[in-house]
Amino acid sequence: MINNTLVRKAVPAVAAFSLAFVGILALVPRGQDDGDKLVPVAVATRPLSDGTTANAVRNGAEIRMIEESARAEGAVGSLDELPDGVLAYDHVAGQQILLTSFAQSRVRSLGKGYVAISVKLDPQRWVGALLEAGRIVDVYDTDDVSPRRVALRAVILESPNPAELMPTEDTLVSIGVPEESLPDVLKAVANNRIWLVGR
């Protein structure tokens, strides 16, 4: 009789404890579901304007872990994965950086009114950093009278790695220039009088 009484009294207590224990388990995180797992994504830490080079983007971005469902298609997962070229459009702080954020040929990102040309430069007419893709330069015609600016805000589109060039080696560089400046730029190129001046 005593045993039955004890059992009847113990059952509700055990049941209550079991329910409480199950509730606690439900509240304890048990790891991310497959759909919510965290993945690395490159994110801008400050505003980055169009034309910013990949090297500069690395200094203005960081890797953050976000839920996979929030990852944009084509998002870069490592700063080492950033492609060569320049940003094709502005990025705000917190914005994910995508493979499509970059344009190897910046003519498209420059908008209408620009054309691309290739010019051969001797060493005295280019200086290391000027050859970096995305660098904005002014183009001068160094005629016999005086240097004359023939293109404003031209953009280096493609160029070889300066570290791989010999000090006396000419190099081929692609630049985007405003359409209205093209005749004067081509004239300077034809006469080997073109000079690039960084801004």
Model pTM score: 0.49
Say if 141 falls within a structural domain. Answer: yes
Domain limits for position 58: 34-103
Question: If you average pLDDT over residues 63-82, what whole number do you get?
Answer: 89
Where does a domain end: 47, 68, 103?
Answer: 103
98 and 112 part of one domain: no
Whether residues 93 and 175 share a domain: the answer is no
Residue at which a domain ends, from 81, 103, 125: 103
Q: Write down the mean pLDDT value for the chain.
A: 76
Winning range, highest mean pLDDT, from 82-91, 111-120, 137-146: 137-146
Decide if pLDDT at 9 tops 60: no
| Residue 95 sits in the same domain as residue 130 | no
User: What percentage of residues in the chain have a pLDDT greater than 70?
Assistant: 67
Same domain? 122 vs 87: no
Nearest to 157 by CA among 124, 121, 108, 112: 108
Q: Contact at 8 Å (CB) between 97 and 50?
A: no
Say if 10 falls within a structural domain.
Answer: no
DSSP for 71-117 reads PPTTB-SSGGGPPSSEESS-B-TTPBPBGGGEESSTHHHH-TTEEEE
SS3 48: strand
Asked if residue 132 and residue 115 are part of one domain, the reply reads yes
Total domains, the chain: 2
CATH number of 58's domain:
3.90.1210
Asked if residue 191 and residue 116 are part of one domain, the reply reads yes
